[in-house]
Amino acid sequence: MLSYSYEILYISAQKNTILNKILMTLGNIFILRGEWGSKSMLKKMFYCENCNSMWSGNEGDNMLCPDCKTPLELTNVDLLDWRKKTQSEKDAIKSEIRNRIHEHKIVLQKREELRNAQLSKNPQYEYQIVAVGDKDSGEIDIREIQRILNQYSEEGWKLHTALTNEVGKNSSAASIGSFGAGINSTIDQTILIFERCIDSGSNM
């Protein structure tokens, strides 16, 4: 915006050579200042809680404090606005930011305490996964599944989920004289997921 407005002034003074030279010189200075100012306006101030200091940088950058290497907190203060502040105003801004960060940490700490308190009340479980393969004929091995169910039940486990998983195909062929026959079967696994409570929690 600044460079555009000074360019308009320069064009409107073409008829006066002396005024033209003056405006052209001033225009170049102001244009440089305008470009410098536009870049500075993109910069924000970052706050270091550890050093209680402010640093400038581009919004979106993950900046570290040059002094203590602590991650900096992005503020809503522009670099140009910061330069216009008095020292007392700067101190007040830093104090406000520091208090806001401290309050945010308190909120996060209370949230974590509530989370841990709730977790201590919840029952805790452990899980065991067992895979039982089909017979060569493709039939489910019911006897093996029955044995595993009884075994885990005696140890305090409860069947939580059962599902099948296809692992391949099995084919066989036989011939007698001029006669032949073939059998194709899908081989699956039966996946058994067992659950056992190891801590009933304070709610139980």
Residue 145 predicted with pLDDT over 70 = yes
Structure tokens at 142: 């019911």
Do the domain assignments include residue 147? yes
Per-residue pLDDT, 87: 94
The reply to whether 116 and 128 lie within a common domain is no
**Number of domains present in the structure of the chain:** 3
Do the domain assignments include residue 176? no
The reply to whether 192 and 149 lie within a common domain is yes
Distance between CA atoms of 95 and 87, rounded to whole angstroms? 12
Per-residue pLDDT, 168: 65
Do the domain assignments include residue 56? yes
The runs of H, that is alpha helices, within the chain are: 2-12, 17-41, 79-84, 87-121, 142-154
Do the domain assignments include residue 6? yes
The reply to whether 68 and 115 lie within a common domain is yes
The reply to whether 114 and 58 lie within a common domain is yes
Q: With bands split at pLDDT 50, 70 and 90, how would you rate the model's confidence at 53?
A: very high
The reply to whether 9 and 20 lie within a common domain is yes
Do the domain assignments include residue 112? yes
Q: What is the domain range of residue 68?
A: 43-122
- Report the run of H or E that residue 49 belongs to, with start and end: none
Q: What is the mean pLDDT of residues 51-59?
A: 90
52 Rama sector, left if φ>0, alpha if ψ -120 to 50, beta otherwise: left
Q: What is the mean pLDDT of residues 151-174?
A: 80
Residue 32 predicted with pLDDT over 80 = no
The reply to whether 51 and 108 lie within a common domain is yes
Per-residue pLDDT, 121: 86
Do the domain assignments include residue 179? no
185 vs 99, which has greater pLDDT? Answer: 99
